[in-house]
Amino acid sequence: MEAVCSTPCVGQLHFALSRPLTKSPTFGPSVLILRNPCQLAARQQSWGASPKAALSSAHSSFSSPLPVPFQFVAPARKTRSAKLPALPAVRASTEDGQQFDYDLFTIGAGSGGVRASRFASQYGAKVAVCELPFSTKASDDKGGVGGTCVLRGCVPKKLLVYGSHFADYFEDSRGFGWSFPGGEPEVDWSHLIEKKNKELDRLNNAYKTTLKNAKVDLIEGKGTIVDRHTVDVDGKRFKVKNILIATGGRIFVPPIPGAEHVITSDDALDLTSVPSKIAIVGGGYIALEFAGIFNSAGAEVDIFVRGDKLLRGFDDEVREFLAEQLQAQGIRIHFGAKPVEIEKRDEDQLTLKTEQGDTWQGSHVMFATGRRPNIKGLGLEEAGVDVDDKTAIKVDEYSRTSVDNIWAVGDVTDRINLTPVALMEGMAFAKTAFQDEPTKPDHTNVPSAVFTNPPIGTVGLTEAEAVEQYGDVDVFTSTFRPMKSTISGNPVRTFVKILVDAATDKVIGLHMCGEDGPEIMQGFAVAVRMGVTKKQMDSTVGIHPTSAEELVTMRTPTRQIRKEEAQNGKGEKEMAAAAT
Amino acid sequence: MPREGPFQVDGKEEKKECGKAYDYDFFVIGIGSGGVRAARMAASYGAKVAAAELPFNPVSSETEGGVGGTCVLRGCVPKKILMYGSAFSAEMQEARGFGWGIPEDIQCNWEHLLKEKTREITRLNAVYKKLLTNVKTFEGRASLLDKHTVQVEDVSSGEKQSVTSKYVLVATGARAVFIDIPGKEYGITSDEALSLAELPKKAVVIGGGYIAVEFAGIWSGLGLEVDLIYRQPHPLRGFDMEMRETVSRNLKNRGIRLHGDTNPTKIEKLGHERYVVHTDKGDKIETGVVLFATGRLPKTHGLGLDKLGVELGKKGEVIVDEYSKSSVDNIYAVGDVTNRIALTPVALMEGHAVAKTLFNNEPTPGDHRNVASAVFCQPPLSVVGLSEDEAVEKCENEVLVFTSTFNPMKYTISGRQEKALMKLIVDEKTDKILGAGMVGPDAAEIIQGIAIAIKAGATKKHFDTTIGIHPSTAEEFVTMRTPTRRHPPKHERNKDDAQK
């Protein structure tokens, strides 16, 4: 008997228990490690059950109880499972005599849904996920495995950012002595879109394969909750123990006259040619990313934004800096502008009118006016699932809705609408519900990026939040011209900002707007996550010559904000910017 | 009020030691990265500072150098500018994959690029001079007459002047050296390579260090046929083996001909800018230029250090303690001349530490642990902490190696066949990250933040609980969940070795 005490191996135990049962020949880890003999029973609780529910159902997960020897000794890899009695394929749990088709039924196979389903299955649950048929444009009857991120969001957007950004490289290259005697570079946008769609197809299939390999049943169709234990997919009904809603978000377009003439981000990702002149309505990250894509690709771009700044929710200085950079590239930004009507005069001519009485004419109008949780037709009311006033599904910190066997993750809960956050939520849910390991997703210090031109990378608090929460804050800022621009002549600059809690020296916010900002910020996010101090940052040797090294060489605060002085009406102490 | 402690630095008082007054508190020989930082900081702490540097020329010699030093004039900055310039050809190739129509006959005007590079480093030279407003600067060749007396000789007139200083800092850097083979006189160093009047069609690069692979990339990007000759099986000795293999693959993949395990035996001149490089493998490689990237040696020759009893190492480097103090107690040395870690930011750190130690009553040893570095080959390599081999050698506990080899998203469309590699090395018992590295786009930018985390003692758990930035290359660093391989704890490894 080889029984060793070791916490990290608990996961292995579970793997050994759950996976091989579905197909006998491979027994994964060579040694089954148990902390103590009781653990097996304790672990079994999580089998297809919510943590509280289910000691009673534990044994019924299997048609026959496990053979006793198996509880303590697993065969070494070489002996395999040959000596073990054959076990039936995984079956869903029963409860109060009711046989379920699935332990988990996930509605929506996007980032959060796929992650949760895969891991629930790996933890031993019988899982199905339903998703609408694939289309690049989402609608009531179209979606696709992969979800927004893969099909209509992060991935295709980034591919177009790459594609259009080459135009800026060509410009930059001239400063370095490159020329194009055979003619100016020109983009065949339809070629790019075709390749992008090919890549999406590949990813869509890759996700399907992932689900298949994870033994998750994929059911194509629209899932509706009939009651808390019944899901209907296009007329077919499934009895399910747990339901996970992961239907994501949908684009919201305000119902103004002529709204039918506008395009949304779904359409904008699929245009076969670059618009000649486009108005983009909205000041959020989607609006600004497309502004960058189309501007670089040669379109004339106007942004209409209701407020007096772009990118609500980001650090104010970053917001202003980005606006300047966009304007420096020829993008016009109309602040305080509220569109009230779109008029289509002829095929290629749209007119946009604002409440302020301005009119704009061009070929395309794009609305990037927000996204709303996608809950239409889900049957939430019938099942008794509460939604908040913004129609987001209300969940507790474990992602459980007001109905205790119905859960929700990702954009449909409107917490932080980012793919990696949905992944984290999905993973935490699977651990909570199927591995007896109640896990709260942690929404603090989530780094994020905006792929504008130049892009933004950020983690932690904005300056306003920092002052609000900490009072005394040291602010370090630096604006510089990246080395490449000193030769290329590109006017775009880089801005970096560090916010430090003056009392503890802890870094509480980091912001960067400039080339490579998103790539740079990832490592800093690890550091901020672990509670790094400014002193530790300063003691780190720079990597030379990079833009990132600027963040470890900012020695003198630009200003020191002190709560007391603020109360005395003095505000902040302006300090001389650090000399280089 | 005068500061307390051993290093009284009130500038208004006469500087005295055993009744002797000095012209300066601090004399810095060599105004490169380390020297500038030390001089500036010392001045800011109230010391009376002077510094000497040779006149400016992009190519260095016994009589020429320039304020800014190797990094700014003949190293990091100009090579990165050329790296940027050369990388456009790869970008244009990739752009085609994205649907851009670009005629085949694109070209880079080397003369223009060179002019732009020279303009920029000339600007930086002026910026550095301006930084030294509180420092008296001398142009000329400096040497030590005694431990407190520095002589500066004007290289054109031969005029000499001497000044005295309480402390002296040697920050003269290093210079490229040739290996001794017949015909080496036809070769050039990186100094000249950064300033070649004309680009030939073919180049041979001798050496496997970072300078060699960087120039191979630059020239290849600018359209030259490049042969890289090096002694080791892979370039970049000292780096993680898996990283080195990846770099080899990438260089080859980008059209550079690799000659590993090879030594050049002689160089023959055929005519104007026509040479043949012979190797011990029997190759005869015809080329327009031969670059020797065969190492750099500390520049201590002619400084008079040996006469003063300053202990020098085998390569001529100044031997220093952790405070950068030489064997002579008022003579300090920082940067490449000490042959510790020859990197600009390390020289800055050392220079700053010396200034703090001597003039801010704050004895500060240099901290050479977990220094991150980057090699700007294409795509770049960047590392921090231990390599896998080093970890296996040094770590008592089980070592977990997490690797990720992937196709960067951009390449899915551009069609470039080149995998990025990322690696985290973890002490299984403590969960501490021992080392991290990457070969791939933006590696140098990505590793900087990772380096901070590692410097601050990050564990694998810290990485695992950090949310990714999507879609980025860097997010791969926080999503590596399963170790690729494990190395058993040291006592078991030794047992295995014994059995073998």
Task: Identify whether residues B245 and B314 lie together within a single domain.
Answer: no
Task: Identify whether residues B65 and B167 lie together within a single domain.
Answer: yes
CB pair distance less than 8 Å for B463 and A526: yes
What pLDDT score does A390 carry?
76
Question: How far apart are the C-alpha atoms of A520 and A540, rounded to whole Å?
Answer: 15
In the beta sheet, which residues pair with residue A243?
A105, A406
In a domain, B482, yes or no: yes
What torsion, rounded to 10 degrees, do the Cα atoms A201, A202, A206, A208 define? Answer: 20
Residues 23-42 of B with CB under 8 A from A: none
DSSP track, A468-484: HHHS-EEEEEEEE--HH
From the list A424, A415, A406, the residue with the least C-alpha distance to A388 is A415
Task: Identify whether residues B15 and B127 lie together within a single domain.
Answer: yes
Interface probe, candidates A203, A544, A552, chain B, greatest B C-beta count within 10 A: A544
Residues 472-511 of A with CB under 8 A from B: 483-484, 486-488
* Contact status of B223 with chain A (Cβ, < 8 Å): no
The enclosing H or E element of A240 equals: strand A236-245
From the list A211, A11, A23, A27, the residue with the least C-alpha distance to A104 is A211
In a domain, B166, yes or no: yes
- Search chain B and give the residue with CA nearest A440: B465
Task: Identify whether residues A456 and A424 lie together within a single domain.
Answer: no
Instruction: Give the burial class of A406: count Cβ atoms within 10 A of its Cβ; 0-12 exposed, 13-18 middle, 19 or more buried.
Output: buried
Dihedral sign computed on CA atoms, order A219, A224, A227, A232: negative
Going by the DSSP 8-state scheme, the letter that residue A406 receives in this structure is: E
In a domain, B61, yes or no: yes
Is residue B455 within 8 A of residue B433, CB to CB? The reply is no
Half-sphere exposure of B358 (CA within 13 A, CB side): 31
Task: Identify whether residues B148 and B12 lie together within a single domain.
Answer: yes
Question: How far apart are the C-alpha atoms of B299 and B209, rounded to whole Å?
Answer: 19
In a domain, B309, yes or no: yes
From the list A167, A362, A190, A348, the residue with the least C-alpha distance to A271 is A190
Q: Give residue for tokens 């070629």.
A: A191
- Residue ranges of the binding site of B: 80, 207-214, 295, 336
DSSP track, A120-150: HHHTT--EEEEEPPB-SS-BTTBB-TTHIII
**In sequence order, which residues have a C-beta less than 8 Å from that of residue B16 and are 6 or more positions away?**
none
What pLDDT score does A563 carry?
86
Question: How far apart are the C-alpha atoms of A240 and A105, rounded to whole Å?
Answer: 6
In a domain, A95, yes or no: no
List the CATH number of the domain containing B65.
Answer: 3.50.50.60
What pLDDT score does A575 carry?
46
Q: What beta strand segments (E) does A68-175 contain?
A: 94-95, 98-99, 102-107, 127-131
Residue ranges of chain A whose pLDDT lies below 70: 1-90, 565-580
Is residue A175 within 8 A of residue A306, CB to CB? The reply is no
Q: Give residue for tokens 């990313």.
A: A289
Q: Strand, coil or helix: what is A550?
A: helix
In a domain, A96, yes or no: no
In a domain, B369, yes or no: no
Task: Identify whether residues A180 and A241 lie together within a single domain.
Answer: yes
Kindly report the nearest CA distance between residue A257 and chain B, in angstroms: 36
Question: How far apart are the C-alpha atoms of B36 and B32, rounded to whole Å?
Answer: 6
Task: Identify whether residues A9 and A29 lie together within a single domain.
Answer: yes
What is the edge-to-edge ordering of all strands in the sheet holding B225-229?
B257-259, B225-229, B202-206, B289-292
Task: Identify whether residues A217 and A275 lie together within a single domain.
Answer: no
Q: Which residues of A touch B127 (CB under 8 A)?
A: 580
Task: Give me the phi and psi of B73, to 5 degrees please.
Answer: -100, -30
Kindly report the nearest CA distance between residue A517 and chain B, in angstroms: 9
Instruction: Pick B456's closest partner by Cβ from A170, A177, A530.
Output: A530
A191 counts as catalytic = no
Question: How far apart are the C-alpha atoms of A204 and A147, rounded to whole Å?
Answer: 9
In total, chain B counts a number of residues equal to 500
In a domain, A439, yes or no: no
CB pair distance less than 8 Å for B449 and A548: yes
List the CATH number of the domain containing A538.
Answer: 3.30.390.30
Task: Identify whether residues B456 and B478 lie together within a single domain.
Answer: yes
Going by the DSSP 8-state scheme, the letter that residue A525 receives in this structure is: H
Instruction: Pick A176's closest partner by Cβ from B116, B382, B458.
Output: B116
Structure tokens at B40: 């500036």
What torsion, rounded to 10 degrees, do the Cα atoms A425, A427, A431, A434 define? Answer: 100
Task: Identify whether residues A129 and A233 lie together within a single domain.
Answer: yes
Residues 289-308 of B with CB under 8 A from A: none
Question: How far apart are the C-alpha atoms of A426 and A423, rounded to whole Å?
Answer: 5
* Radius of gyration for chain A, computed over Cα atoms and rounded to the nearest angstrom: 27
In a domain, A480, yes or no: yes
Strand A277-281 relative to strand B107-108, pairing: unpaired
Going by the DSSP 8-state scheme, the letter that residue A400 receives in this structure is: B
* Contact status of A448 with chain B (Cβ, < 8 Å): yes
Task: Identify whether residues B314 and B241 lie together within a single domain.
Answer: no
Task: Identify whether residues B354 and B256 lie together within a single domain.
Answer: no
Instruction: Pick B345's closest partner by Cβ from A186, A527, A542.
Output: A542
In a domain, A78, yes or no: yes
Provide the domain count of chain A.
4
Kindly report the nearest CA distance between residue B18 and chain A, in angstroms: 37
* Contact status of A124 with chain B (Cβ, < 8 Å): no
DSSP track, A256-315: -TTGGG-B-HHHHTT-SS--SEEEEE--SHHHHHHHHHHHHTT-EEEEE-SSSSSSTTS-
Q: Which of B330, B359, B388 is the last residue of a domain?
A: B359
Question: How far apart are the C-alpha atoms of A325 and B488, rounded to whole Å?
Answer: 52
Q: Which of A336, A367, A398 is the last residue of a domain?
A: A367
Task: Identify whether residues A495 and A564 lie together within a single domain.
Answer: yes
Task: Identify whether residues B194 and B262 lie together within a single domain.
Answer: yes
pLDDT in tens, B48-94: 999 999 999 988 888 999 999 999 999 999 999 999 999 999 999 99
In a domain, A263, yes or no: yes
- Search chain B and give the residue with CA nearest A528: B453
In a domain, B147, yes or no: yes
* Radius of gyration for chain B, computed over Cα atoms and rounded to the nearest angstrom: 25
Half-sphere exposure of A60 (CA within 13 A, CB side): 15
In a domain, A60, yes or no: yes
Domain hosting residue A524, numbered range: 448-579
Is residue A523 within 8 A of residue B477, CB to CB? The reply is yes
Task: Give me the phi and psi of A216, to 5 degrees please.
Answer: -100, 130
**Average pLDDT of B440-453?**
98
Q: Which residues of A touch B344 (CB under 8 A)?
A: 544
What pLDDT score does A87 carry?
40
Question: How far apart are the C-alpha atoms of A249 and A252, rounded to whole Å?
Answer: 9
Residues 381-440 of A with CB under 8 A from B: 418-421, 423-424
In a domain, B91, yes or no: no
Provide the domain count of chain B.
3
Task: Identify whether residues A272 and A141 lie together within a single domain.
Answer: no
* Contact status of B59 with chain A (Cβ, < 8 Å): no
* Contact status of B98 with chain A (Cβ, < 8 Å): yes
Going by the DSSP 8-state scheme, the letter that residue A22 receives in this structure is: H
Q: Give residue for tokens 């009072």.
A: A471
B297 pLDDT above the threshold of 70: yes
Q: Which of A332, A351, A367 is the last residue of a domain?
A: A367
pLDDT in tens, B104-119: 889 999 999 999 999 9
Is residue B186 within 8 A of residue B277, CB to CB? The reply is no
Task: Identify whether residues A459 and A479 lie together within a single domain.
Answer: yes
Residues 461-490 of B with CB under 8 A from A: 462-463, 465-475, 477-478
What pLDDT score does A348 carry?
83
Domain hosting residue B467, numbered range: 379-499
Question: How far apart are the C-alpha atoms of A470 and A465, rounded to whole Å?
Answer: 8
Task: Identify whether residues A121 and A228 lie together within a single domain.
Answer: yes
Task: Identify whether residues A143 and A235 lie together within a single domain.
Answer: yes
Interface probe, candidates A9, A119, A151, A178, chain B, greatest B C-beta count within 10 A: A178
Q: Which of B359, B388, B407 is the last residue of a domain?
A: B359
CB pair distance less than 8 Å for B84 and A484: yes
Task: Identify whether residues B31 and B163 lie together within a single domain.
Answer: yes
CB pair distance less than 8 Å for A548 and B116: no
Question: How far apart are the C-alpha atoms of A325 and A321, rounded to whole Å?
Answer: 6
Interface probe, candidates B76, B467, B476, B477, chain A, greatest A C-beta count within 10 A: B467
CB pair distance less than 8 Å for A540 and B452: yes
3-state SS, chain B, equals CCCCCCCCCCCCCCCEECCEECCEEEEEECCCHHHHHHHHHHHHCCCCEEEEECCECCCCCCCCECCCHHHHHHCHHHHHHHHHHHHHHHHHHHHHHCCEECCCCCEECHHHHHHHHHHHHHHHHHHHHHHCCCEEEEECEEEEEECCEEEEECCCCCCEEEEEEEEEEECCCEEECCCCCCCHHHCECHHHHCCCCCCCCEEEEECCCHHHHHHHHHHHHCCCEEEEECCCCCCCCCCCHHHHHHHHHHHHHCCCEEECCCCEEEEEEEECCEEEEEECCCCEEEECEEEECCCEEECCCCCCCHHHCCCECCCCCECCCCCCECCCCCEEECHHHHCCCCCHHHHHHHHHHHHHHHHCCCCCCCCCCCCCEEECCCCCEEEEECCHHHHHHHCCCCEEEEEEEECCHHHHHHCCCCCEEEEEEEECCCCEEEEEEEECCCHHHHHHHHHHHHHCCCEHHHHHCCCCCCCCCHHHHHCCCCCCEEECCHHHHHHHHHHC
List the CATH number of the domain containing B464.
Answer: 3.30.390.30
Q: Give residue for tokens 């749209």.
A: A350
Strand A94-95 relative to strand A98-99, pairing: antiparallel
Task: Identify whether residues B303 and B317 lie together within a single domain.
Answer: yes
Instruction: Pick A181's closest partner by Cβ from B84, B105, B442.
Output: B105
In a domain, A161, yes or no: yes
Instruction: Pick A544's closest partner by Cβ from B113, B345, B370.
Output: B345
In this predicted complex, what is the ipTM? 0.93
Helix axes A154-175, B76-97, angle to 10 degrees: 130
In a domain, B244, yes or no: yes
Q: Which of A367, A386, A409 is the last residue of a domain?
A: A367
B275 pLDDT above the threshold of 70: yes
Going by the DSSP 8-state scheme, the letter that residue A26 receives in this structure is: -
Task: Identify whether residues A58 and A127 lie together within a single domain.
Answer: no
CB pair distance less than 8 Å for A178 and B106: yes
Q: Strand, coil or helix: what is A371?
A: strand
Q: Strand, coil or helix: what is A222?
A: coil
The enclosing H or E element of A564 equals: helix A563-567
Task: Identify whether residues A284 and A341 lie together within a single domain.
Answer: yes
Task: Identify whether residues B290 and B302 lie together within a single domain.
Answer: no
Instruction: Give the burial class of B81: count Cβ atoms within 10 A of its Cβ; 0-12 exposed, 13-18 middle, 19 or more buried.
Output: buried
Is residue B106 within 8 A of residue A166, CB to CB? The reply is no
Task: Identify whether residues B476 and B397 lie together within a single domain.
Answer: yes
List the CATH number of the domain containing A428.
Answer: 3.50.50.60
From the list A30, A214, A46, the residue with the least C-alpha distance to A115 is A214
Is residue A344 within 8 A of residue A256, CB to CB? The reply is no
